[in-house]
Amino acid sequence: MKSLILTFSLAVELIFSLSAQVNIPQPTHLIVQIAPAPGMPFTKDKEEFYYLDNNGNPYQSKTNTWDGSNWMFSTRGYYTLNAEGKPTEILERKWDMASSTLIDSKRTTIAYETDGQENYRKIETWNTSLNVWEPGIIQTTSFTPDNKVLEFTYESFNAGMQLFGSRETYTYSGGQISELVGQIWENGIWSNRNKSDFVYNGSDGEYDTILTRNWDEADSSWAEVNFRRTQTVTDTQTVVISEYLLGGVWMPTNLIRTKYDSNKQILEKSQESWEATSMVWIVQFRDEYAYNADQSILQFKVSFRDNNVGILHLFIVVDYDYGSYPVSTVGLAREAKMSISPNPAADFVDIQMEGNETSKISLFDMRGNMVAQTSTAANIAHLLLANLDAGTYFLRVEQGAAIKVLSVVKN
């Protein structure tokens, strides 16, 4: 099940990445439904909201989980964007029922090359006992002068200690990948693991075969080729077959089939295993995508084969929509009571609040950057706007567990 959840997470990330690249509308809301086993009905699992600025970039998100009867507020994400609208930090805070407050949970830091390609990503989790951020995953990418990937490094950590590290180094010839060397981090050094050579026969730029050999520790050299991947590309699908060498005979192991629509968007991606007895390919996992007329994502489905009953089971269904949702609100019972004036404003805005709790007041621009902050125990606060550019801002007031967000227009 963990691999399927990861598939869903990667699909969401891929959808947003592709939308940003090709100017396709991005979803503002999704609902995940799960059927745990064949024959069981689908039940709601979680929903996510994405709040976009005027350029279509997310600056905040919210996740609710289904408790069987109602949606329960779970987490909120805060995005810090650079001048190009790309996130440089995503802070995730989760709702803590015991304290009725949002507490830090996860932080993702991202850096880019000058041309916009991502070259660094660090994912950290908040240690509530030590009150420190602890690294979980660090990914680093370097590029050639012509913007091709030169090296990719992946490191995973637990409790501040590195558990695993892998590195891929690429070599190019004629603008195409010719060699890929894989290494792992062990005993404080990088050790060779495998090497792949790419073979091209056509002019489409797609490889035909990848030949892989392992590192022989005893001889300190590369062994003979023992694994290969063969790719067939058409206008409607790509098929990659993996085989291993056994007794001089190539034995098929698995197949990855990707189908495309006329816009080259993925319609279906399946992983199939070879059944040696019946000599047929059997689908083990399948991802399916449906799109709107404007090429934006409409639905995503994940199926896996249940070998106990021998059928392909539809496990996850994700439905997307593109409505306009208020950025506020963790629920009416948790909504702070306030009013603001004047609005639109020129040099200042007054915030009138109910209750006697200390209020934390924050002002964010359309990119999610905090541009002003104050706190008060009084029922009214005065926030200066004179030094801000004209435009729309979001005013956030926190009174204990209650939260309210309203838009403010600066003339």
Q: Taking Cα atoms as reference points, which of 25, 94, 18, 76 lies closest to residue 55?
A: 25
Highest mean pLDDT among 249-258, 348-357, 361-370: 249-258
Structural domain includes residue 168: no
Residue 79 has pLDDT above 60, yes or no: yes
The predicted pLDDT at position 356 comes to: 60
Residue 405, amino acid: V
User: In angstroms, rounded to a whole number, what is the distance separating the alpha carbons of residues 55 and 45?
Assistant: 30
pTM: 0.74
Which residue has tokens 């790419």?
Answer: 198
Our count of domains for the chain comes to 2
**330 vs 342, more confident:** 342
User: In angstroms, rounded to a whole number, what is the distance separating the alpha carbons of residues 276 and 342?
Assistant: 75
Residue 36 has pLDDT above 50, yes or no: yes
* Residues above pLDDT 90, as percent of the chain: 58
Of 77-91, 135-149, 358-372, 384-398, the poorest mean pLDDT is in 358-372
Residue 333 has pLDDT above 60, yes or no: no
Out of 265, 298, 325, a domain closes at: 325
- Residue 406 binned pLDDT confidence (cut-offs 50, 70, 90): low
Looking at residue 263, which CATH number applies to its domain? 2.40.128.720
Out of 294, 325, 356, a domain closes at: 325
Q: Are residues 306 and 345 in the same domain?
A: no
Q: What is the domain range of residue 377?
A: 332-410
Q: Are residues 19 and 64 in the same domain?
A: yes
The predicted pLDDT at position 400 comes to: 60
The predicted pLDDT at position 1 comes to: 39
Residues 176-195 pLDDT 10s: 999 999 999 988 899 999 99
The predicted pLDDT at position 332 comes to: 36
Q: Are residues 305 and 283 in the same domain?
A: yes
The SS3 of residue 118 is: strand
Q: Which residues are CB-neighbours of 183 under 8 A, at least 6 positions away?
A: 166, 167, 168, 169, 190, 191, 192, 193
Looking at residue 386, which CATH number applies to its domain? 2.60.40.2550
373 phi, psi to nearest 5 deg:
-155, 145
**Cα end-to-end distance, the chain, whole Å:** 52
Q: Are residues 7 and 70 in the same domain?
A: yes
Structural domain includes residue 392: yes
- Residue 57 binned pLDDT confidence (cut-offs 50, 70, 90): confident
Residue 153 has pLDDT above 50, yes or no: yes
Structural domain includes residue 395: yes
Structural domain includes residue 382: yes
Q: Are residues 299 and 346 in the same domain?
A: no
Q: Are residues 314 and 286 in the same domain?
A: yes
Residue 22 has pLDDT above 70, yes or no: no
Residues 84-97 pLDDT 10s: 889 999 999 999 88
User: In angstroms, rounded to a whole number, what is the distance separating the alpha carbons of residues 371 and 363?
Assistant: 6
Q: Are residues 23 and 70 in the same domain?
A: yes
Of 148-157, 299-308, 322-331, 384-393, the poorest mean pLDDT is in 322-331
Q: Are residues 251 and 273 in the same domain?
A: yes
Out of 325, 357, 389, a domain closes at: 325
Q: Are residues 342 and 404 in the same domain?
A: yes
Q: Taking Cα atoms as reference points, which of 285, 319, 288 lies closest to residue 1?
A: 285
Residue 337 has pLDDT above 60, yes or no: no
The predicted pLDDT at position 4 comes to: 43
- Residue 313 binned pLDDT confidence (cut-offs 50, 70, 90): very high
Residue 357 has pLDDT above 80, yes or no: no
- Residue 279 binned pLDDT confidence (cut-offs 50, 70, 90): very high
- Residue 331 binned pLDDT confidence (cut-offs 50, 70, 90): very low
- Residue 409 binned pLDDT confidence (cut-offs 50, 70, 90): confident
Averaged over 235-256, what is the pLDDT?
A: 96
Structural domain includes residue 396: yes
Structural domain includes residue 90: no
The predicted pLDDT at position 346 comes to: 74
The predicted pLDDT at position 407 comes to: 67
